[in-house]
Structure 1
Amino acid sequence: MVPLTVWLCSDPHSEEPLPGPSARPTGAKPGAAICVRHRQRIGRELARHLISTCTREGDLVAEGFTTSEATLVAAAELDRRGIALVPHFPLAQHIGTRLRANLDQQQLTRVQMRPVRPDQMAKGLADHLGQISLVIGAPPPYETGGRSPRRIPATGCPACRADLWMLSSEQLGLFLAAAWRVLAPGGVLAVTTTARQQAGRLIDPAPRIIRHAQGLGFRYAQHVIALRVPIEGDELVVQASPTDLAQLRDYRSSALPPTVGVHATVSLFTKPQESASPPGPGSPSGGRAR
């Protein structure tokens, strides 16, 4: 049986407005910020748990499917080096501005972004093949069998815009294979997913990802429940957003109730100390993880 653990990852670090217009990236809309859905993919507290548990000072951490500055900030604050893959330039501008607002000059030297899609990670990190201690990824729903976004939300969230732009490019199976190539022997792959309701069914993408990773040679080491909401006594404190309140229905209704993101599933895999090359995309175990 795979060990199960629970991490408390209520993230108090909301994305505060930047000090003034001069701090915003060129062309950014006033008030534009990462939406709650994307901030929760990998929050700063979850990133700190992953980095402090799976790495040591000076180690190198890489992140695919990056949607915020959380992982890079946590890596720099914990004296690790961090590289985030951000192929969408407006999102990279936004993250860069957030990094400069949260880190000092010495910490900034420990982090960087590269304009590479997650499925191209091995090419983008060719100078670090076999050297990375931890790869973190929180694939979006359309990469794990969910619906595709049809339009850009009116909020102007740069991560939402990046999702739509990269829709036809990313392949989760290739990301997992690339993670194998860049990880050092004994390195850790952390994949974060969230179960969701779709067409009246509960969809949990974690089992598919686990099977695919194991087919590449990864060892499934740990199953983590990351609680995203605070705990007071023995109760979970869930605060409904205006969108959630708008979805409230009569208690007599037969329709499914609105969902609230209380936790995420984090699957931790290790690359064995001595391992063969993973199967390629054209082999029975390679290709898209769908």
Structure 2
Amino acid sequence: MTTPAVTIPAVRQLRPPTPDGPLVAFVHGLEDSWESWLPLSNVLPEWSPVALDLPWRPGNDYLWRRRPSPAWLADGFDLLGRRPDLVVAHSFGANALLELLCAGDRRVPETVILICPLYRPPDVAVTWRVFERARRSFEQHIHDSLRSRLGPRLRNMDAEVVERMIAKAVDRVGPSGFLAVFDQFCASASLRLDQVTARVLVLAGGSDPTLSPAAARILADGMPNAVLSVGDSYDHFCYARQPEDVASRLRAFVDVASVVSGHPEGVAT
């Protein structure tokens, strides 16, 4: 049997550009799709949104793990042709972006939004108990991600059929997917957050089993120009489940951060 090839990143236009609107790049999480950003981008008509379609998309073969996730994300930014005005990243994608921020990568703009990143505070030891808790959370995320992607179709589907689909998805992702996430979670404790110069919004949820509000506070406090916003009812996929509410938080942050449309200062045209 031929081994599936690793697919490279691509750029997907979420809708036609808004005249004079800031170029906003959306970065999806593991086993999630660029299309998951459509509900949020549709309620932010003032933005010119594109989504990066990254190798950790649903149904991937995980051969991309031979290369660090920030390198794949950097490749995606190169495809844009210029530095975006804003990047909004979720979960696994948010951690890849955070690593680029800590490394001072010039492809990352001065304003970014991290939605439910995977963060381990330095005082949380990597134990078997933490490992098992992370594994359970990962399976729950696969469950929630699939249900989120099904959208309105879910209401008309038999519950047993949905559960079989979820079980099949968990088996397909398997240990490779979980270890990709767990490695990223473990490594996050050693990131040099003090090196991040960008303006950062950390958006967390009170119902997210992966990033507690307390851990989110430690993450935000570790970056010189970061702020924290917590939605008590938000889960890990809040941006898809509650797009209007999330959009209002993102818009408020961007207005304060004064994102400028067009080419940011210091970037060649």
What is the TM-score with the length of structure 2 in the denominator?
0.31
Higher helix proportion:
2
More strand by share: 1
Structure exhibiting the larger radius of gyration computed from Cα positions: 1
What's the TM-score, normalizing by structure 1?
0.29
